[in-house]
Amino acid sequence: MSSPTADKPRLGILAVLAVVAAAVALWSAYLWWQLVQVRGGGTAVCAFGGESCAEVWDAPFAGAVHRWSGVPVAGWGVVWGLAAMGLVAGALIASCRHRSVAGAWAGGLRVLALGGLGGVVLLLAVSLAGGKLCTSCVLVYVLTAVFAFVALTLLPRPRQTRAGAAFGMVLAALAIAWAFVLLPGLRTPKASTGTRAVAQGPSQLEGFLASLDPTMASGVGASIAAYRAAPPMPQVEPRAPIGDAAAPVRITEFTDILCSHCAALQQTLEVLRRSAPPGSFSVDSRQFPLDGRCNPRLTPRSGEDVRCTGALAQICFEGHEGREEFGRSLFAHQHELTREAIFELAAPYFDRAALETCIAATETRAKLDEDLDYAWRYNPSGTPLVLVGGRMANPFGPFLYALVLAGGNAADPAFDTLPMPATTPSGH
């Protein structure tokens, strides 16, 4: 009669591992769904104080992972979670039947745990090297660390090492899980799809819309439907428009200097300037800092008033040399931005003493209040807030490009060729 041995996992430990593995798979699937929504034209905003993983997933490393494996980075979280669940199930069955086999399954779980930790370290290193951190991904990192702690410290070690069997189990589990998610992975739009569609789209609206893949076409169609349904409001004359003030389309943007989606919007507008016909649109750049210290309807934040200082500094640059360069520098350095850094970035274009005086001026504050009053008419849920012709618009590159090509006319018959939502959305 055999007694409890060191190489037979206890059911309670396996249950904990199963729950953690399922949590990793489910949360990764949710993040993957978010990625698909954004790349398909879903509303991309920074909720008050929040950040998104999309910027990290659009980085070169993440794009390479998707191209070479067929599965995006978020999908690999699903793969790892499913593989872990499979190994836990195998260990559970084996522990009830064959003591020695249970030890081999436990070895596989330890190998998978070490691999998961390695993946977390790699992703963190790549993200931090790029100055970005996917805050929503942190939960996956923590859960993976918990799984590794339990597997490496609480699972029993077999009396005989079966490294080959353990590695074989892990590779088989990962291969099966990868095959399970490969098809949706291949159908997930790549990081560069949206930019490529804008940059390489033909000059005529009909040709551009015909060039869109089904996912992009659905995104543009949904954005057009939402734009048509949005109530028009009177436009405020721009203080210092960027581009031809007489252009048929005016894009008004309200941004927060620390919002990652606002930084992405700047890149979208740069692509539009290179791709759209000359003189076809102008940009009215306005401020909406997410800090109650200068935006009274919001909760005041602690720490440096980077958001407020950045907003006021950008207003001071209106009509000033280096305005666009300064704005690009602010967004490019947003992850390490401080109040002092704002003045350092402004130094090539604006004397510090003069800029400090302008930031403190009553007239500058009045301009910020004008921007805030203008934005609050639309009851924004975050930033960026984008308006085209006085209507709220999705900051989705292909949609904005198509609307510019249409001269701002969302009723253009060319849009009727796009797939539209089953129900008319009520707004953005």
Task: List the domains of the chain with CATH numbers.
Answer: 11-187 (1.20.1440), 231-392 (3.40.30.10)
pLDDT at residue 423, as a whole number: 57
Give the residue ranges of the chain where pLDDT is below 70: 1-9, 37-55, 57-58, 98-103, 158-162, 191-203, 422-428
Give pLDDT tens digits for 139-153.
999 999 999 999 999
CB atoms within 10 A of CB 122: 11
pLDDT at residue 9, as a whole number: 62
Give pLDDT tens digits for 311-350.
999 999 999 999 999 999 999 999 999 999 999 999 999 9
Helix (H) or strand (E) holding 392: strand 391-392
Residue (of 53, 38, 29, 164) closest to 108 by Cα position? 164
The C-alpha atoms of residue 366 and residue 15 are separated, in whole angstroms, by: 60
pLDDT at residue 37, as a whole number: 67
Helix (H) or strand (E) holding 283: strand 281-287
- 112, 76 Cβ separation under 8 angstroms: no
CB atoms within 10 A of CB 118: 12
pLDDT at residue 1, as a whole number: 42
pLDDT at residue 162, as a whole number: 67
pLDDT at residue 280, as a whole number: 92
pLDDT at residue 194, as a whole number: 43
pLDDT at residue 237, as a whole number: 92
Residue (of 307, 70, 38, 324) closest to 187 by Cα position? 70
The answer, as to whether pTM is greater than 0.75, is: no
pLDDT at residue 69, as a whole number: 93
Give pLDDT tens digits for 4-38.
445 556 788 999 999 999 999 999 998 888 787 66
Task: Please list the alpha-helical segments (H only) found in 154-204.
Answer: 163-187, 193-200
Letter string b/e over residues 147-180, b meaning 16 or more CB atoms within 10 A of that residue's CB: bbebbeeebbebeeebeebbeebbeebbeebbee
pLDDT at residue 182, as a whole number: 93
pLDDT at residue 39, as a whole number: 62
Residue identified by tokens 């910020």 is 368
Cβ neighbours of residue 382 under 8 Å, at least 6 residues apart?
45, 46, 47, 48, 50, 259, 290
pLDDT at residue 424, as a whole number: 45
- Number of residues that this document lists for the chain: 428
